[in-house]
Structures are given as structure tokens and as C-alpha cells.
Amino acid sequence: MKVTIDGHTIDVEPGTTILNAARMIGGEIVPPAMCYYSKLKDSGGKCRTCLVEVTKGSEKDPRPMPKLVASCRTTVMDGMEVKNITSERVLEARKGVVEFLLINHPLDCPICDQAGECHLQDLAYEHGTAKTRYEEERRTFDQIDIGDKIKLHMTRCIMCFRCVFTADQITDKRVHGVLYRGDAAEIGTYIEKAIDNDFSGNMIDVCPVGALTDKTFRFKSRVWFVKPMNASRDCDKCCGKAVVWMYGNEIYRVTARKDKYDEVVDFICNTCRFDKKQVSDWNIEGPAEINRHSVISANKYKKGIKVTAPKVLGYGNNVD
Amino acid sequence: MGKKLLLEHENVPGIDTYEVYRSKGGYCAAEKALRKMSPDQIVEEVKVSGLRGRGGAGFPTGMKWSFLAKPEGKPRYLVVNADESEPGTFKDRYLMEKIPHILVEGILISSFALGANTSYIYIRGEYKWLVDVMEKAIAEAKNAGWLGKNILGTGYHLEIYVHYGAGAYICGEETALLESLEGKRGNPRIKPPFPAVAGLYGCPTVVNNVESIAAVVPIINMGGAEYAKIGIGKSTGTKLISACGHINKPGVYEIEMNISVEEFINSDEYCGGIRKGHRLKALVPGGSSVPILPYELIYKTAKGETRMMTYESLADGGFATGSMLGSGGFIVYDETACIVRNTWSFARFYHHESCGQCSPCREGTGWMEKVLHRIEHGHGRMHDIDLLVDVAKKIEGNTICPLGDAAAWPVASAIRHFREEFEYHVKYPEKVKNSIYAHEKDYKAVMV
Ligand SMILES: Cc1cc2nc3c(=O)[nH]c(=O)nc-3n(C[C@H](O)[C@H](O)[C@H](O)COP(=O)(O)O)c2cc1C
Ligand code: SF4
Ligand code: FES
């Protein structure tokens, strides 16, 4: 099926969404996605940052679609023509969505653990305006511990539902969902129940903002001071392929590996994530490539640098 | 006197019981449909009648039915939307309370036409007593052989279940309703797929409003073509209007869709005029979600034509100078009403009822409410007014379900037509502070 996005034409399988077709084309025409997550079934459609304009429905039915559509949940038709960054309407709507996501967000990046790897930060930087028009009181929630390893800070949540789908789909006992309604809605485990599951830690990785953070890492370091290294270990629960974030020769935190859209490649278990913090636990392969442009990728690592494990141990404050 | 098709026997004592309903010709349509008509013929009859959905959007019912997918080995469902939570709308409640059997009969005919063997009535949580009313009617109908196995010896069987909501306006949105019916959180689904393909439990489903389904009874009785003769253009048949506000006779009225708005407001048969000593100021003709009309656009359209009680005429002029028939929640305001306060009140409702899934609605409804609250309470600034217009514009059309639009339209239209009143609130905060009507004497613009 042929689809044209901002003038770039590509042939894709039936059933491909506009967003995924755009990702195949790549570059700046890829709509930003704050809630869609290719690994999580049924995700997407909620944040509305990926809205695009369909100027031609298909070869068969060339009528344009009257409303902007969520590219992450709209499948392409043969001959469809889509406008993303070439549509004033889209850019205007997107600016609105970014503003909506920010009005109740605390904007306390300087003290937020996610800063530097936060998608909302990137999104606001690229699509937002520098000034806020919001003069009302911002919504706040109390912080909650989901078990002893995960911190939930709802005040920062953007309701992407990714963690809910994670809890639903990769963990086997669902105790995690959404309570209440509208702007009072919150992610919760009901009566602050710990999520007692080997894969629960992945909800930290899927969270685009600083709402779910790793308590074993919180406030230890800014992410741009720690170095992401691909590492693996023999694990009987998960693939054992992870990224260890090192400061000197200490492992500060462990996360799953991510692709260039910052989506987890393989989910990892809680043992790897929370309990394996010794260099000796891991076979360190070399620097992790961070493809997306963010503060972390601005740090010292470039692709192609060869490092061997022993040398890694010497890494720390000043690497280039 | 207009013709009454649904409420003809509303004042007959005991019409809520099976015997009396039957004695007044009840279940004759069902008998005709099941014995003499094929399902396709019924669908065709409804198409010919021109019946448009009475839940708000006005989508042609016959066409909706013909879209229903019919895959092998999958059940189909009819779900009746009795969630009626739109401020200003109380017609379904009246109909179910007075004549519950017309709904049961309508469901029977419709389910037969759609090939559904299980149908649900989803009743708004606050209408809990209607659950008993409907369950009693269903039990009576079953007793008389109109429900259950092998109805009238035709081999067709049908069960109707009543389910009630838990107090969420959003559960009136058809896909949120299906989620709720399935026992989940009532969040609207992302479409496609549409319910006609994958609805309740993933099976093809038709969701219709109470009044739409009840209207199938007279359509079968009199024939689609006869029904289509009532009304004007594509607004065929009769419509229930729940009228409230500053009128002499608030209540539920059945109208033929061929009378003017002026007649509806002033005739003694219907609203009985604006209350004594007061003047008409504004009208919300179809429930809180539709644009508000200022005095000069109520009796006449912008083109100077008589405004009629029809889908087309009420929408004439689009959003600039028109509104919508919507659900038929007809709210009339006289000059004592404060439009700012009314707009804030509606905004508060949508803020409270947003499900919170999508960002523009979750955040935008709260934002609008807070700004309107400030303006109403004397803390507004001039730029707030344009801000509201812009926020409404950024919500509209960009959300998962139409609740976002429903929240944006009243705000945008109120400012479009009553901007001076908003400005007045900003300019003279002392005069409007903590008082609903304090500005009444000073405020003279707009009103005729
Ligand atoms: C927020 C929202 C609330 C709604 N509430 C109701 C309702 O209470 N009753 C109703 O019949 N339709 C309601 N609707 C419309 C339904 O989604 C659906 O269009 C309707 O039930 C279809 O029936 P009809 O074709 O017979 O009108 C609502 C829609 C939205 C977006
Ligand atoms: S528009 Fe509002 S009510 Fe509808 S899905 Fe979005 S948040 Fe929920
Ligand atoms: S990524 Fe498509 S709506 Fe959020």
C-alpha cells in the first residue's frame, strides 16, 4: 500500500499505522508520540500529540478526513496522503496539545529525576512555546510508593496509560489501573498495594515523564553524569540484556535497552533491574548507543567508540 | 393539536401496566413485525421513515442498522442508551416512567430486525428507580409471551436485561457505555472499530437512544412512508422535547417537527410563554452541549427565515448563527439569567465529567472552568476572554470522543454572542461579585 506523508511516498503492509509508516520514512516528518508504544497492545490514541491531517483518504475514496486523526491509531489506505509538519492545522493543534500537557505539569525539571531523558521536556522544547498562559493553580498529588522499589509521583503524570498496559500485559496479576475521572484521574494500585511481580519495574521504563521512577536510583545522579553501557548476564527470568548506567566503576541503575523511539526492546526482570548493581554481575559489552537526541546523547559517547570491559571500569567523570 | 405517537396515552391511568398498554393497541406493532414482516423489511421500513437518532447526533437509524455486520457464529446485540445525563434533557426518563412498555415493544421489534437475541437497557445510575419500572415491564411482557423462547411461535427468542450506570455522563457515549456494560471503566473507545463491527464483547452491536427505539413502534404501526409525512424535510416524525428554564410550563412535550420555535415557546399547548413580566434572552435548544442562541437568532435565522423545531432549521447558519436540535433539552433564559454564570456552570459540568483519557479534554475542560469561575467571581481580565476562545478551539475536534466538542461549543458560542456580558464582568467586578443578578439593571446590551 502506498502512502505519502509530507511528500515522501512509501510502500507499506496493509494494517500499518500512519505513525509507523512515518517511522519507516524517518526524519523530521515522524509525528511525536507520547502515549503510543509499539510493544504494548492497545496503547496510543490518548495524548493526541501525533495528530495529523489526512488530505486524501485513499485512491478509492479520495475525500479528505474532516478531523485531524491520531496517526498512531489510524491505519493507512492505498493512495492515502497525509500532512504532518506541512500542515498549519496540525502544528497549531499540536501546540495546543503540548500546552495542555504542560499546564498541570509541575515544571520542576531541576529537581526531577527524569530530566534529561524526559519526553515531555523534549516535546515542549520542540513544539511548545516559551511562555505559559496558564495562571490557575496546578494539580498536585501526594507521592506514593508502589512497593519498595518504585516511586509514583502522579503530579508529573500525563496519563499516557503505558504503565497500565504494561501492568496488564507483561505482568500477570493486575493490581494497577486508573482511579477517578477527568483531571482528578490517577494511576493507582488501590490501597497502595505493592506490585508483586517480577516484571513490574518495566513500568518505570515505559513512563515518558518522571511519574514513575526507580527508588534505587532516585536522586543519586543526574542522568547525564552517568554513562549508559550495554551489558548482559545469564538470567533465568528475562533476556538478561540491559543497559547499566555507570558512574566511575559503580553501577547506579539498570534499565532495559531502548530503540531510537525510546521504546524498550526487551523487557527485563526486577532482579536484573534492582538487585544486580555490581559490575561483577554483568558482562559489559560497551557504550549504549542513544539514538534520540536528548541531553544524554549530547554527552560524551559517540557511536563507534570501542571500549572493552576493563577500560570501562576506568570510565567516569571526564570521558571524551 | 399536534399528533402524538409516543405519548398518545400518557394520561391513561395504568398505562404503565401491561394490560392497559395492550388494551390501547400495545404490542400490535410487535405482532405485525414478527408475524408478517421479515427482519429486512423492518429495517427497510425504518429507513423509509427517515427516523433520525434521538440521542443527540441525529444519525439516520435505518442506515445505522444496515451497517450492522453479520458475521457467522457471532451474536449481535442491541443496546438501548438510557443514560440520559445531558443537562436539560429529561425526555427518556419521562417516557420510561410513563409508558415503559413502548420501549419493551420497540426493543422486541428492533432486536428481531437486527437478529439480536439479547438486548440491554443501560440506565443512568441516578434513575435507579427506573430499573424497577423497566424490570417490571419486562417481567410482564415475558409473562404474556412477548419475551423469552419462541416468541409467538416464530422460533425467535429474546431476553432483555437492564443495567444501570454509576453516575457518569461519559457512559452515555456509546463506546464508553459498552465498556461500562462489560464491567470496565467507562472510557470511550478509540474508533475504528465502530460498534456495528466490534461492539459489546467484540460483537456487532447497535446502540440507540430510548426514544429512537420507541419510535420504531409507531413506524411499524403506521408504515414508514406515513411516518415520513410528518415533519419537514429530513426531520421526520415526532420528537420529544424536555423544556425547562424561564417558561410558564416546563415539561416534556411531543411535537411534530413542523412547528416554529416561536410557537413552541409561546403556545399554551407547549411552553406557555416566558414567565410574566420578563423577556426572552437566550435559548439552548438541544441540551447543554449545543451552542447557545441569542434573542435575535431564536425566532428567525440569520437569513431572516422562521426558525423551526427541526434538525436543519435549528442548525441553520452553522456554528456562527445556528445551533442544534441535539437531544431535545430545551433550556430557555429570560433577561435575569447571567450568561457568564451559565457558561461557567456548563463548563464545570464538563470538567467534572471528562473521563480524563485524552489531553485536550482532560486539561482543557478544567482550564476553561477555572477561568470562567474567575470571571464570574470578579477576578477576570480582558485577555481571559480570548484565551477561552482559543482553548475551546484547541479542544474542539482534537479529542477521542465528542465530549471535548460538547465542552468547547457552549463556551465558544456564549462568547461569540454575549461577549459584552463577559467584558462587563471583567470591567465591573464589584457589581457582579458574589451575586448572580447584580448586573441586571446595568447590563442592557444584546437584549431586545
Ligand atoms: C459525552 C456523550 C454523552 C452522551 N450521552 C448520551 C445519552 O445520555 N443518551 C443517548 O441516547 N445518547 C448519548 N450520547 C450519544 C451516543 O453516543 C450515541 O450517539 C447515541 O446513543 C446513538 O443513539 P441514536 O442514534 O438513537 O441517537 C452521548 C454522546 C456523548 C459523546
Ligand atoms: S474527549 Fe474527554 S471524555 Fe472523551 S475520551 Fe477524551 S478525555 Fe475522555
Ligand atoms: S501517540 Fe498517538 S495519541 Fe498519543
CATH number of the domain bearing residue A117 = 3.30.70
Identify the closest residue of chain B to A93 by CA–CA distance: B394
Average pLDDT over residues A303-309: 42
B83, B86, B169, B170, best to mutate for ligand 2 pocket (most atoms within 8 Å of CB): B170
State in Å: Cα B214 to ligand 2 middle.
Answer: 29
Considering only the beta carbons, identify the residue of B352, B394, B400 that sits closest to A182: B352
Q: Is pLDDT of A216 > 90?
A: yes
Q: Is B401 in the pocket of ligand 2 (CB under 6 A)?
A: yes
How many domains does the structure of chain A reveal?
3
- Whether residue A185 and residue B356 make contact (CB cut-off 8 A), yes or no, is yes
Q: Rounded to a whole number, what is the distance in Å from the CA of A48 to chain B's nearest CA?
A: 7
Residues with CB under 6 A from ligand 3: A 33-36, 44-50, 70, 72
Distance between the two ends of chain B, CA-based, in angstroms?
A: 31
Considering only the beta carbons, identify the residue of A93, A134, A159 that sits closest to B398: A93
- For residues A80 and A59, membership in a common domain is answered with yes
Average pLDDT over residues A126-150: 89
State in Å: Cα B405 to ligand 2 middle.
Answer: 10
- For residues A162 and A209, membership in a common domain is answered with yes
> Which has the closest alpha carbon to B408: B282, B285, B284, B288?
B288
- For residues A125 and A173, membership in a common domain is answered with yes
Number of A/B CB contacts below 8 angstroms equals: 96
Identify the closest residue of chain A to B192 by CA–CA distance: A74
Q: Is pLDDT of A297 > 80?
A: no
The reply to whether the predicted model has a pTM over 0.90 is yes
- For residues A112 and A210, membership in a common domain is answered with yes
> Which has the closest alpha carbon to B173: B216, B228, B124?
B124
Grade residue A292 by pLDDT with cuts at 50, 70 and 90.
low
- For residues A124 and A88, membership in a common domain is answered with no
Q: Alpha-carbon distance A136 to A7, whole Å? A: 41
Partner A contacted by B364 (CB < 8 A): yes
Q: Decide if A164 is inside a domain.
A: yes
Q: What is the 3-state secondary structure (H, E, C) of chain B?
A: CCCCCCCCCCCCCCCCCHHHHHHCCCCHHHHHHHHHCCHHHHHHHHHHHCCECCCCCCCEHHHHHHCCCCCCCCCCEEEEEECCCCCCCCHHHHHHHHCHHHHHHHHHHHHHHHCCCEEEEEECHHHHHHHHHHHHHHHHHHHCCCCECCHHHCCCCEEEEEEECCCCHHHHCHHHHHHHHCCCCCCCCCCCCCCCCCCHHHCCEEEEEHHHHHHHHHHHHHCHHHHHHCEECCEECEEEEEEEECECCCEEEEEECCCEHHHHHHCCCCCCCECCCCCEEEEEECECCCCCEEHHHCCECCCCCECECCHHHHHCCHHHHCCCCCCCEEEEEECCCCHHHHHHHHHHHHHHHCCCCCHHHHHHHHHHHHHHHHHHCCCCCHHHHHHHHHHHHHHCCCCCCCHHHHHHHHHHHHHHHHHHHHHHHHHCHHHHCCCCCCCCCCCCCCCC
Cα angle B379, B391, A68; round to 5: 175
Q: Decide if A109 is inside a domain.
A: yes
pLDDT digits (tens, 9 = 90+) for A252-271: 999 999 998 899 999 999 99
Choosing from A167, A196, A214, the residue where a domain stops is A214
Q: Decide if A25 is inside a domain.
A: yes
Q: Alpha-carbon distance B44 to B96, whole Å? A: 26
Q: Rounded to a whole number, what is the distance in Å from the CA of A291 to chain B's nearest CA?
A: 27
- In this structure, the strands spanning A51-56 and A144-146 are unpaired
A-side interface with B, Cβ within 8 Å?
A: 44-49, 51, 67-68, 70, 73, 92-93, 96-97, 99-101, 103-104, 133-134, 136-137, 139, 158-159, 161, 177-178, 180-185
pLDDT digits (tens, 9 = 90+) for A56-82: 999 999 999 999 999 999 999 999 999
What is residue A318's predicted lDDT score, i.e. its pLDDT? 36
What is residue A193's predicted lDDT score, i.e. its pLDDT? 65
Atom of ligand 1 nearest to the CA of B401: 31
- Whether residue B359 and residue A159 make contact (CB cut-off 8 A), yes or no, is yes
* Domain span including residue A238: 223-313
> Which has the closest alpha carbon to B199: B144, B257, B131, B118?
B118
State in Å: Cα B174 to ligand 1 middle.
Answer: 6
Higher-pLDDT residue of A171 and B50 is B50
Considering only the beta carbons, identify the residue of B354, B393, B400 that sits closest to A183: B354
Average pLDDT over residues A23-50: 96
What is residue A128's predicted lDDT score, i.e. its pLDDT? 82
Q: Which residues pair with A53 in a beta bridge?
A: A83
Q: Decide if A319 is inside a domain.
A: no
Considering only the beta carbons, identify the residue of B170, B364, B367 that sits closest to A136: B367
Q: Is pLDDT of A302 > 80?
A: no
Residue with CA closest to ligand 1 atom 28: B173
Q: What is the 3-state secondary structure (H, E, C) of B318-380?
A: HHHHCCCCCCCEEEEEECCCCHHHHHHHHHHHHHHHCCCCCHHHHHHHHHHHHHHHHHHCCCC
What is residue B433's predicted lDDT score, i.e. its pLDDT? 60
Q: Which 8-state DSSP code applies to residue A174?
A: -
What is residue A260's predicted lDDT score, i.e. its pLDDT? 87
- Whether residue A67 and residue B356 make contact (CB cut-off 8 A), yes or no, is no
- For residues A86 and A27, membership in a common domain is answered with yes
CA dihedral of residues B179, B180, B182, B187 (deg, nearest 10): 20
> Which has the closest alpha carbon to B424: B376, B390, B386, B387?
B376
Q: Decide if A30 is inside a domain.
A: yes
What is residue A315's predicted lDDT score, i.e. its pLDDT? 39
Positive or negative, the Cα torsion across B441, B443, B447, B448?
positive
Q: Rounded to a whole number, what is the distance in Å from the CA of A69 to chain B's nearest CA?
A: 8
Q: Does the N-terminal peptide bond of residue B429 adopt cis geometry, omega within 30 degrees of 0?
A: no
Grid coordinates representing B446 are: 444584546
- For residues A198 and A228, membership in a common domain is answered with no
B353-380 b/e (C-beta count within 10 Å ≥ 16 → b):
bbbbbbbbbbbbbbbbbbbbbbbbbbeb
- Whether residue B190 and residue A73 make contact (CB cut-off 8 A), yes or no, is yes
What is residue A308's predicted lDDT score, i.e. its pLDDT? 41
Q: Is pLDDT of A300 > 50?
A: no
Instruction: Please name the amino acid found at residue B200.
Output: L
Instruction: Please name the amino acid found at residue A12.
Output: V
What is residue B431's predicted lDDT score, i.e. its pLDDT? 78
B434: left (phi over 0), alpha (psi -120 to 50) or beta: left
Identify the closest residue of chain B to A95 by CA–CA distance: B394
Q: Which residues pair with A186 in a beta bridge?
A: A179
Contact (CB, 8 A) for A228 and A243: yes
State in Å: Cα B197 to ligand 2 middle.
Answer: 22
Q: Rounded to a whole number, what is the distance in Å from the CA of B175 to chain A's nearest CA?
A: 15
Taking only Cα atoms into account, the Rg of chain B, rounded to an integer number of angstroms, comes to 22
Grade residue A293 by pLDDT with cuts at 50, 70 and 90.
low
- In this structure, the strands spanning A51-56 and A69-70 are antiparallel
CA separation, residue B113 to residues A192, B70, B144, B244, B404 (Å): 49, 12, 21, 36, 34
What is residue B437's predicted lDDT score, i.e. its pLDDT? 47
Identify the closest residue of chain B to A44 by CA–CA distance: B190
Contact (CB, 8 A) for B320 and B262: no
Q: Decide if A318 is inside a domain.
A: no
Q: Which residues contact B56 (CB under 8 A, 6 or more apart)?
A: B86, B209, B286, B287, B289, B326, B327
Grade residue A52 by pLDDT with cuts at 50, 70 and 90.
very high
Q: Decide if A320 is inside a domain.
A: no
- For residues A199 and A238, membership in a common domain is answered with no
What is residue A311's predicted lDDT score, i.e. its pLDDT? 38
Q: Decide if A41 is inside a domain.
A: yes
Contact (CB, 8 A) for B88 and B284: yes
Instruction: Please name the amino acid found at residue B247.
Output: I
Choosing from A183, A214, A245, the residue where a domain stops is A214
Across chain A, mean pLDDT equals: 88
State in Å: Cα B362 to ligand 3 middle.
Answer: 15
Q: Alpha-carbon distance A137 to A230, whole Å? A: 43
- For residues A82 and A123, membership in a common domain is answered with no
Grid coordinates representing A320 are: 571524551
Contact (CB, 8 A) for B118 and B158: yes
Average pLDDT over residues A75-101: 97
Higher-pLDDT residue of B365 and A223 is B365
What's the CATH code of the domain at A92?
Answer: 3.10.20.740
Q: Provide the ipTM.
A: 0.91
- For residues A20 and A35, membership in a common domain is answered with yes
> Which has the closest alpha carbon to B281: B245, B243, B249, B233?
B245
- For residues A85 and A180, membership in a common domain is answered with no
Choosing from A181, A214, A247, the residue where a domain stops is A214
- Whether residue B399 and residue A100 make contact (CB cut-off 8 A), yes or no, is no
Grade residue A298 by pLDDT with cuts at 50, 70 and 90.
low
Q: Rounded to a whole number, what is the distance in Å from the CA of B396 to chain A's nearest CA?
A: 10
Q: Is B188 in the pocket of ligand 2 (CB under 6 A)?
A: yes
Cβ neighbours of B294 (radius 10 Å): 21
Residue with CA closest to ligand 2 atom 4: B401
What is residue A190's predicted lDDT score, i.e. its pLDDT? 62
Which residues of chain B have a pLDDT value below 50? 436-448
Partner A contacted by B184 (CB < 8 A): no
Compute φ and ψ for B296, nearest 5 degrees.
Answer: -70, -10
- For residues A205 and A251, membership in a common domain is answered with no
Q: Is B170 in the pocket of ligand 2 (CB under 6 A)?
A: yes
